[in-house]
Amino acid sequence: MRKMIWCWAVAVACAWAAQTRANGGGYAFGVHSYFKYRLSTGAVWNGTIEKGTVVVRADGIAPEEVRVEKGHLNHEGRDRWVRDFANLKPTLDDDILVSAIPGYYVPGMYRRDSRYQRYIQRGGGDPSSNQQGWGGAHTRYKATASSTLAPIKGHRFGPENLANEAAQYPWSEGVPGPGIGEWVELVPGNPSPLLALGVYSGFQPGALFQKNGRPSRVEIELNGEHRFTATLGDVQDEQLVPIIGYAKPVSRIRITIRDVYAGTQYADTCIKRIILYDLLSERPDISVAR
């Protein structure tokens, strides 16, 4: 018997997958992110595993979008899956497989009056149906920040860049160090319930992405009363952060940096763009962009 106590705390930490863009238009189904652990490798040990505990915790993703595919884990509480075992001689059936199921992302859509508009659809199922939540993208908000990096050679790094699709430069916090605790605040012109936020983290695209800091964890506060923490990947693309458990019209959004991926050359932490996805009351009247 192998006298060993194992405990895993597995954080399924991701926003909806950004790698869902379809080439040539059309619907893009979300890519699942997987966590795998081969407990069966313990079969070659001398004896059994005396005692073990596996804990899977949803971190930065809605628990409803986490699926335990294998591993005999029990759902305990809203965001935890647990398995306790004793005197286990593991087999392939004991291997653990957990998937994070992203929302569907529709990268290029048009209204039927030919005006361009981006949409996302959340939840499983056929994205052509009207049974899931739909969100319409916009940047109609005013942005302020706790600090801003001073202009460099005439280039400005203010929070107004977050809403400007044509801006070449991001918002960059302006305090010494990586900017932990610094924030941006968004005030939409027409408050509406939100389905998600789209975050372009860091100074992207290009080589300056790695040279500057990127948020890895942010606290999101809605209307000063609903708070949660989201984990961001270190990728040069849009990352969708779902809004869970809050259905009120949102008139103020504060995003605070809680942790960062450090830059290789500069300490400043940047966010390039933030997109708001208003929750729509019904499926939009749209056709696929080609």
218 within 8 A of 59, measured Cβ to Cβ: no
What is the location of CATH 2.60.120.260 in the chain? 136-279
The verdict on whether omega for the bond into residue 178 sits within 30 degrees of 0, i.e. cis, is: no
Tokens representing residue 62 in the block: 């809605």
Write the CATH number of the domain with boundaries 136-279.
2.60.120.260
196 within 8 A of 242, measured Cβ to Cβ: yes
Q: What is the pLDDT of residue 113?
A: 61
Q: Select from 146, 97, 101, 140 the least CA-distant residue to 117.
A: 140
Q: What is the pLDDT of residue 290?
A: 53
- Give the C-alpha distances (Å, rounded to integers) separating 265 from 155, 207, 212, 262: 18, 11, 6, 9
Q: If you search the block for the tokens 């209307």, which residue do you land on?
A: 223
- Bridge partners, residue 249, by sequence: none
Q: Select from 265, 214, 253, 259 the least CA-distant residue to 237.
A: 214
Please tell me the pTM assigned to this model: 0.71
Q: What is the pLDDT of residue 102?
A: 57
226 within 8 A of 249, measured Cβ to Cβ: no
Q: Select from 11, 12, 16, 66 the least CA-distant residue to 198.
A: 16
- Bridge partners, residue 88, by sequence: 49
102 within 8 A of 33, measured Cβ to Cβ: yes
Q: What is the pLDDT of residue 101?
A: 61
Q: Which H or E element spans position 211?
A: helix 208-211
In whole angstroms, give the CA distance from residue 256 to residue 271.
Answer: 11
Tens digit of each residue's pLDDT, the chain (290 residues):
454 444 444 444 444 433 333 322 333 334 456 778 888 888 888 888 888 888 888 765 667 778 888 889 999 887 889 999 989 889 999 998 887 765 555 555 656 565 667 888 776 444 444 446 788 999 999 999 999 999 999 999 999 999 998 899 999 999 999 999 999 999 999 999 999 899 999 999 999 999 999 999 999 999 999 999 888 888 888 888 888 788 899 999 999 999 999 999 999 999 999 999 999 888 887 765 55
Q: Which H or E element spans position 210?
A: helix 208-211
In whole angstroms, give the CA distance from residue 203 to residue 212.
Answer: 7
Query: In this structure, which amino acid lies at residue 61?
Result: I
In whole angstroms, give the CA distance from residue 217 to residue 215.
Answer: 6
Q: What angle do CA 270, 273, 276 make, to 5 degrees?
A: 135
Q: Select from 101, 114, 106 the least CA-distant residue to 136.
A: 106
Residues in CB range of 80: below 8 A, 6 or more apart: 55, 56, 57, 58
162 within 8 A of 172, measured Cβ to Cβ: no
